[in-house]
Structure 1
Amino acid sequence: MTGYADDLALAHLLADRADAIATSRFRALDLRVEAKPDLTPVSDADTAVEREIRALLAEHRPADGLLGEEYGAQPASDPDGRRWIIDPIDGTKNFVRGVPVWATLIALYDGDRPAVGVVSAPALGRRWWASAGAGAYAGPGPADGERIGVSAVQRIADASFCYSSLEGWEQAGRLDAMLDLIRASWRSRAYGDFYGYMLLAEGALDVMVEPELSLWDVAALVPIVTEAGGTITDLSGRPAPAGAPGTDSSVVATNGVLHADILTRLDPPAER
């Protein structure tokens, strides 16, 4: 048992409630979808899930802070204290099109320490979780989890390389570097969203990169990847998520062995 066992148990409860709401709206004929100011979609499932999680945290952890994608920030009673970070449905574009690759992301940060992460993908029948110092696990749920770990692949030529899309890397001015990495890798696929990071944590692939993510997109992934033995930073090698709250960050996640090579290929020292 760790100091975060009770928090992890609560995160699983939050995920159970989120799963029930989201699955009831998945592929619903009356699903309501709107465009946010940044033109990304938000469904009634996104907002309902976040409202439920907020209500549960207000009941069980009233002193903790909270940041959610749909309803913003709520400060903690202690400015340097604990904060829950929630993405009610990561992969909303998949969700609204009936693609089953979407998940609720739940993280707890204790100050700057990534303490708990839960990623629940009910349409895939799979959940991933971790708490600081206690390892990473995956399975249908907490009663049926097995410990997971990253791969031992040592060369890019042997690596399964994953990314979200090429468009973002083109906008970041690193499309040529991305294409070179794709050509150099044993295999490349664009799984996108949370899924590539979870496959990395399971050892099913070796690298996952994205040029720009919000804090709620990545916070829950960090404990799972790192407790599985991986490394996750931004392009400059700073621990992810880097930057001030409310700003987006690049993310590079690897099995650890390949990390320095990937950073050099995507962000050569002369460009840093």
Structure 2
Amino acid sequence: MIPLPGQPVLPYNKERTVAISAVRRACIVTQKVFETLVNTEFITKGDESPVTVGDFAAQAVISAILGNVFPEDPIVGEEDAVELRKNKDLSHRITALVNEGLTDERLFYEKEEWGIGQGYDIAPREVNDAIDKGKFEGGNEGRMWTIDPIDGTKGFLRGEQYAVCLSLIVDGKPTVGVIGCPNLPHRTGKPEVQKGYIFVAVKEQGSERLTMQGYDPTIIAMPTVHPSDLVVLESVESGHSLHSFNARVSELLTVEEPPCRMDSQAKYCALAMGRGHLYLRMPTRSDYEEKIWDHAPGTLLVEEAGGIVTNSKGGPLNFGLGRTLGKNSGILACGSWVYPKVLDAVRVASRESRKRAKSREAIRAAAAAASTPPPNVPLPPPPAPDKRPVQGDDKENRPEADVKL
């Protein structure tokens, strides 16, 4: 937490405090974008993921602050300014948003020397340069920051869950993680409920939940529940994770509760708070490599809350390989108390999946060799469709669950 006068200063306290400020201000920008701009204003990247003006502005805010306070630290960011340098009108609009975030009134824990507060506007060229600081290729030595300015862009465009994510990685290990979730909780129907939280974790110092202003820290920890009461957290988009695989794992664990689907690293936050108990993300493509900024802060948050995060084979996530986790084979995150059972279930489901794939390949190969499909040899059935009800479904068939805090 932010130390009061007379309190001891813990390791990485400055990094923690600056990160909270940077994420808070980036969240101000993203909220402003959603409130004032048409939500179809986005650029489509090569991987077909949309990038809103909020992505550029939020990354620029965070990068500018980090550059002022920790000028020697490299940054691994999701976006670059190539498109902005070609489009002066867009660049000037994003600059105006960035300056709203940077010049917002300072709170008691924020410092003028961080380059924030009234009078600290920056020019379009400086905005573009700040965004392009995020081109570092990563590695397993020294310090580096990762920025995911809007994790869950589609959720953001829908007005649902997204997250502004920042982490400090030291020698390949996540050491400070901050995640801003402006839309948690979602659709509570209770206007008095606090909306929007910042989640913070520091290695060996635990995990906390704060207000969007960075106040009122609350320690969070993962509870234990009966296996049948486990709530599985998974992505809204079926293209991001194999829902059918998750359904099979749930069946093996005798889970009775429907899954909770939401975008972004908000899933890690829900897991750390105990609003969900198991997060599974199995790749839908064999060649896909997870980005380090998509998991570094969330991994630390869950681990410091008492959980375990590994790949689907039980190995640790390696954040020192570069900008991705390499051939990582999925993400498994849950409480330490249930981890052995979950890992066993994932292994069984994986073996079943490989066996089905091998049977199909053998039949296809035989059919190709004979030039005609073999008669009366049915293909093995595909995995059963995911027919689980989803928490939060309503009359509008909205896929995202309500996370009650």
Q: If the length of structure 2 is used for normalisation, what is the TM-score? A: 0.61
CA 1:227–1:14: 2 relative to 1, 3 Å: same
Bigger fraction of residues in strand: 1
| 1:157 CA displacement | 1.9
| Equivalence for 1:206 | 277
Partner Cα separation in structure 1 for residue 202 and residue 247 of structure 2: 35
Write the deviation string for residues 72-109 of structure 1: whole angstroms up to 9, x where unpaired.
Answer: 43368x9721010010011110112222x111001001
Task: Give the whole-Å Cα distance in 2 for the aligned partners of 1:10 and 1:79.
Answer: 23
Between the aligned partners of 2:319 and 2:166, the Cα distance in structure 1 is 18
The aligned counterpart of 2:37 is 29
- 1:243: how far off? 7.6
The whole-number CA distance in structure 1 between the counterparts of 2:303 and 2:27 is 25
- The 5-angstrom pairing of residues 133-212 of structure 1 reads 133-140=204-211, 141-153=213-225, 155-165=226-236, 166-170=238-242, 175=244, 177-183=245-251, 184-187=254-257, 188-212=259-283
**Separation in structure 1 between the aligned mates of residue 27 and residue 166 of structure 2, nearest angstrom:** 12
Residue 259 of structure 1 corresponds to which residue in structure 2? 339
Alignment of 1:6-45 (within 5 A): 6-31=14-39, 32-45=41-54
1:172-203 deviation digits (Å, cap 9, x = unpaired): xx93x422223321312222421221111011
SS of the residue 2:164 aligns to: strand
CA RMSD, 1 decimal = 2.4
Specify the SS of the correspondent of 1:144. coil
The superposition leaves residues 131-171 of structure 1 with CA deviations (integer Å, 9 ceiling, x where unpaired) of: 11111001314321100000112x5323111111544454x
Whether 1:230 aligns to 2:307 is yes
Question: Which residue of the partner structure matches residue 131 of structure 2?
Answer: none
Q: Which residue of 1 aligns with 2:57?
A: 48
SS in 2 for 1:63: coil
Aligned length: 265
Contact 1:234 1:241 survives alignment (8 Å):
no
Q: Which has the larger radius of gyration?
A: 2
Q: What secondary structure sits across from 2:265 in the alignment?
A: helix
Can you give the 5+ residue segments of structure 1 that lack an aligned partner in the other structure?
A: none
Cα distance change of structure 1 residues 167 and 94 upon mapping to structure 2, 3 Å threshold: closer
Q: Distance in 2 between matches of 1:270 and 1:205?
A: 23
Matched, 1:215 2:285: no
TM-score, normalising length: structure 1: 0.88
Match of residue 239, structure 1, among 298, 316, 325: 316
Instruction: Tell me the percent identity.
Output: 27
